[in-house]
Amino acid sequence: MIGRETLKKHARLVDLMASKLGIDLEERALRGDINFDEISDAVLACTGCSHPCTCERWLAAMPVPQNDTPDYCRNRPLFKGLKNA
C-alpha cells in the first residue's frame, strides 16, 4: 500500500510538471478537459516511477514553460494531450 507521504510527494511532482508545461490542472479540470480521477491516476502512475529524484532536479532546473516532459515521465501522454488541447 502506498503511504500518504508518498502520495503527497508525487501529487506535488505531477502538479509541478503540469505547471512547468504551462498547464493548470485545477483550471483544466473545472473546464472539463480532465477529470479528478484522471489526475488521481496520474499521481498513482507517478508513484511507480523510478526517477523521482531526477524529476525533482529537472523540475528545479528547468525554466517555465517547457514544451515537453522528460522521456521517462509516465504521464507524458496525458500532459501532451492537455498541452495540445
Residue 28's contacts (CB-CB under 8 Å, 6 or more residues apart) are 34, 82
Q: pLDDT 10s digit of each residue in the chain, 85 long?
A: 899 999 999 999 999 999 999 999 999 999 999 999 999 999 999 999 999 999 999 999 999 899 999 999 999 999 999 999 8
Instruction: Using alpha carbons, select from 71, 59, 13, 68 the residue that is nearest to residue 39.
Output: 13
pTM score? 0.95
Angstrom distance (rounded) from CA 13 to CA 36? 16
Helices vs strands, H then E, count in the chain? 5, 0
